[in-house]
Structure 1
């Protein structure tokens, strides 16, 4: 299954890499399952798709198809950022959290499920820096992925200011952290 990205034919969004697909079929993975595994792993490699497929097969009985996932952004309202600044900081939080999600297999799988279910995103109001840090600690204690944005200080707020906390996970778990907060 050794196939480097450089020598693999390109595939567009929604298409499966034909080389990787053939390698999965040689492992007797059903056609539709091979396609889904490649799409869910973004055509990274046949090995990654095979790991995804076999992991799903092993855990079929513990199916969490009925679980919903969401990404929540908690904005530090004490900083009085303008609308454009808040939008940029939420963007930083989304990218940072999504990059963090790539670090663990279980988090990558969560990201795929979240993406397939519509990629729900909510923006909420946080009180201040201490509040964001408290929410982050609670989320981490529940093993939820988080990302806390620290501003560079080039425009509206001081360098190092904590502007937005991003949290992701199964909806009920995330609600344990942010469920009492108001929408922005």
Structure 2
């Protein structure tokens, strides 16, 4: 930076509109970042500066973005399970899938990445057992680990009923399998 540019930027940082600066601080934008955003947008308004700041922040996050992973549980809605039964079956699916992930080194690494990227979990609606089997086959063809829960039949569901399919992997890949399903 040229000495004149440095002096100009320094004086500009001190000449920011105090009202706009206060408004940006109320949005939890750090003071220096708020001042820089106001300078870059020529003190037009707090809104302009906020848009500049958040767009810049979003772009920086995307550039350094690592792969995100998620675990999805597809519930067999054909069985008419109650809330408690669904919760128990999803828990069985999570534990079962996590055990499957321990079988291969690459899957253990995936489990670690999934856990360290937020351990995202989503529960969606599947139509029936045929639908769950179709989704499992698609997931397997994409080399995504899966686990399909078969109920023991000790409570409300017939023994051997397939209740929940669990799938885990890189978010975009999992979306290829379950992305069109409705949330439960």
Relative to the length of structure 1, the TM-score reads: 0.65
| Residue in structure 1 matched with residue 155 of structure 2 by the alignment | 155
Displacement after TM superposition at 1:65 (Å): 6.3
Structure 1: gaps of 5 or more residues: 1-63
Aligned residues: 121
Question: What is the deviation of 1:152?
Answer: 0.3
- 1:13-162 matches, within 5 Å, as 66-162=66-162
Gaps of 5+ in 2: 1-63
- For 2:65 and 2:125, locate their aligned partners in 1 and report how far apart those are by CA, in whole Å: 30
Partner Cα distance (1:79, 1:93) in 2: 16
Say which structure is richer in helix.
2
1:152, 1:92 → 2: CA distance? Answer: 11
In structure 2, how many angstroms separate the alpha carbons of the residues matched to 1:65 and 1:161? 40
Which contiguous aligned blocks of 4+ residues in structure 1 show a shift greater than 6 angstroms? none
Tell me the alpha carbon deviations over residues 87-136 of structure 1, each in whole angstroms, 9 at most, x when there is no partner: 00000000000000000010000000110111000000000000000000
Aligned to 2:40: none
**How large is the Cα RMSD of the aligned pairs?**
1.1
| Cα displacement string for residues 28-59 of structure 1 (whole angstroms, at most 9, x for unaligned residues) | xxxxxxxxxxxxxxxxxxxxxxxxxxxxxxxx
Q: Distance in 2 between matches of 1:66 and 1:83?
A: 35
Q: Secondary structure at the match of 1:160?
A: coil
TM-score norm. by structure 2 comes to 0.65
